Structure 1
């Protein structure tokens, strides 16, 4: 039965009347063999091509009002040693015949999680008197959550909290579970009939019950195993990549992917996924039983993640504390903190980070005080701050670990990426299959952007001459620059003679500009030269490639001139015989070079040149100014002295006249 047929019989196609389905032969109407009604007859649903998965089974449970799916299995009408049996036809020839494969589903008849990101998360509802009711969050505790997760086959609880949902919960009674009960409605409960207005419980279980990591240091590290039809087996995946591996970490609520690899083993029974599965969670993919010589190993971060459904190295930063994931306040978050996060997640260096509003306040308000060298964010020192600007959480994008090598520039060469401390060349699988050059330009554009090397100039696939281990990348899966890491394939056996070469526009380093002689230190890109003297403007660049030329651009308030000289050992000297006021203005060096059959240029910083008077002129002017000042002071003093003497003489004469009159 294919997915289109599934949609038809579930009534998802508006042009077709909804078909009826039921579960029969089980202990309840919510468990048993799946049947579909055709006209007045009921017929078993077969799964000959193994198209059924847990998501489809969950839709059946919800359609018949039986909560969430607990298990899915396939059975044969008989019990032969394999799925293939033989019989003799009328011509006495042995003909292989596939027996019908029946679908059996078990649903939870009394509890379900709705509106979550996967089958084992969402708003908790219980069924009472054939009515589904949301559950009040008041008094809901860890023991209650353990019973729900176990009842749904979803492992253990990883987080739960009350949320507002616009309408009051219909189920207000408080559960009093001990944690050992087989079902939530088997727990004792109180007679409470009130609830805080509009608060219902949302729950996330740590393990959808279908994947696990074993033989590692903890539940977030080890060999990947999948449970299918009640049987646990290791997993092998022909097209394993970082995005697929990160899906396991998401399913286990283990934060971000740290590393994954395919380990060679002796012949083992494994589950293999179809290579074209792109579901959000691995247990939603179709699987096949197959003998393999390799298994998948995964290590997840159990303490930090970037919350984003589509990008491994970009998203809202969250940390895990006491088994609860909390968004991080943006106040005080700096470059050193970002460097630790990106390195911890194997995502290169920080590209950008900022605070954003998310409607609800961050739960993690403590400020990190990283030095930038720590191995993990929670290993950093932190302050005791417990407040945060309202609703601001940090979002972070890391560059991804990549480089261009083999030339004298960091913006041209063979593309290599680092995964699990190993650098390898990268080959575009879409190009390899179709030999379509357009795919390589897609990869190259992302690389130039992430390396801050401008725009892509050229990209090509070259023959290295001998086979080397490479990382495969699928350019057709790109959604943005940050998703480059998502599309990286990790199967170890890929070796090829090809490698992807990329040339970006910012190929050349920035040239330098200087003035000689300069009698003052350059301040704010301004420099003075002596009026009437010779001066030179020197353009230079770090040795990368031979040849090229320098263009000196002069701009004043009234005119613009260009001077061009070829480079001599990466230098060019522009000589000016006598500085005049007309030389006042802005000067810029532009380095031009033809390399790899393309023309490139790079521009220096600009300086502003100011012609000034010679030193002797300045001294003479200073002496003249001093003499004038001395003369002015002398004249002023003589004037005031003479005036004072005149006043004193007048006073004495007046006193003499007064004495004479008295006599």
Structure 2
């Protein structure tokens, strides 16, 4: 179990570990999901996580020897932890079930895609027989992705899956907190093929684009529609992160402005900081609360020229 790399060798860290009192002191990280990845322990209040190298020759401070019965309130109550050096290939990776036992894949974001469920140790798909907006609402609620958008029943909209088709004839009332509270034909019982895999788009799904490939007006998809991104305060760092996320090169031009092509503006005062790793960590005004008319951001990415 990998610790934060600073202070790991200070005396008294075992006492600190034993005093861990809530789930925020242990987390699963190092990937795109909060429910799967490397297990990490917060030590002495440090929150600036330094991700480990994937090269085995680099060693890190690790904690090992935990023995838990499963009833402990937190990891600090488990017995016999000790410290040692370990390589990145020896660190513990886990996948949690519960919220993480369903996922949406194929869109590039967590809140839209082909619906997959985890059962008997593997991910499988859900058939669209009897599927409707009420079922999709439950999926979005379980994933904390807002509400489902309309026109959900589009077979294989995000492409067909592979492996098992785990569920068919799913029928929810719409107010359930989990898909597991809804009726179905039973695990693995179906009369469909992968071309009928369910796709879901939730209101919190966000996507960005430029109107002419790797250049043009900046537009964002949110709550089911495309809208403009205003020019106010946008800088070159923000433009560069947009270009990187669109695979349009490492850098972007100094933003200019142009007339918006969409009927409404979604984002304003959108300005990324150098430590922001994705666009959706960048500060902005609240969605739909803007202070611009038709002065929307326009950029050119370095990848346009290659």
Q: TM-score, normalised by structure 1?
A: 0.24
Structure number, greater radius of gyration: 1
Kindly indicate which of the two structures has a greater share of residues assigned to strand: 1
More relative contact order in 1 or in 2 (CA 8 Å, sep 6+)?
A: 2
